[in-house]
Amino acid sequence: MTSNSLIEEAFIEHEIVPDAISKPPREILNIVYDGGHRVGLGATLTPRQVKDQPVVSWNAENGALYTLAMIDPDAPSRKDLERKEIEHWLIINIPGKEIEKGETLSSYFGAGPSPNTGLHRYIFLIFKQPTRLSDSSRGGTTYEEMSKNRRRYIKEFIEKHRLGAPVAGNFFQAEYDDYVGEMYRKMGRG
C-alpha cells in the first residue's frame, strides 16, 4: 500500500498540484490495464498498453456516490504555456465502486499525445459526491462533438459540483508512438 505522503509528493513533484487540481488525493487509485499493466504514480506506459478501458478500484463507502475523471492536462504539449486539458473519461453517480452502474459523460479514450510533444500526464481522480450530479454540458454523438466537448477543465467541474479534494488518484505518463497514428486513422481523423 502506498502512503499518503508518497501520493502527495508524487502529485506535487509532477506538478499535478497545481496544474490540474488544488489538493492531492488522500489514497491511491488502483488501475490495471489488459496485460497486467499497472498505473503507478508517474510510471511511463505506452499508448498501446493503455488503449482499452482499465479496471479501476478504490476504498469506497457503501451508499456513497463517486465521480471518476481521467484527464491529460498537457495538450498539445507540456511545454506549451497555452496548453488545454483533454478529458479522457468522465463517469458520475457511481454507486460505491460499481463503475458500470455510473453515468458515463465521456467514454474512455486512451492516451493519444501528438508527435514530438514529449511525455503527457494522464491523471485519474475519484471524488466523493455531496449529492447526485447532473451535467448536460458534456458528451456528444459525433467525433467532432466529442472532441470539442472533451476540452474541459477539471477544476471548473470540481467547483461547479462542489466535489472538493479527490479521495483517490493515480497517474501515468505516455508519449507518442506508432499506435497513436493507428488509433486516429481508425477514428477517421488521421
CATH code for position 50: 3.90.280.10
* Count: domains in the chain: 1
Give the domain range for residue 97.
Answer: 4-186
Averaged pLDDT for residues 76-89:
80
Residue 143 predicted with pLDDT over 60: no
Task: Let me know: does 174 contact 45? Beta carbons within 8 Å.
Answer: yes
Q: Closest Cα to residue 124, out of 52, 62, 64, 57?
A: 57
Q: How confident is the model at residue 161 (pLDDT cuts 50, 70, 90)?
A: very high
Residue 141: what pLDDT? 47
CB-based contacts of 116: which residues, under 8 Å, 6+ apart? Answer: 176
CA pair distance 8, 26, nearest whole angstrom: 8
Task: Summarize pLDDT for 23-61 with one digit per residue, the tens.
Answer: 999 999 999 999 999 999 999 999 999 999 999 999 999
CA distance readout (Å), 123 to 10, 67, 149, 154: 12, 14, 18, 11
Burial of 39 (0-12, 13-18, 19+ CB in 10 A): buried
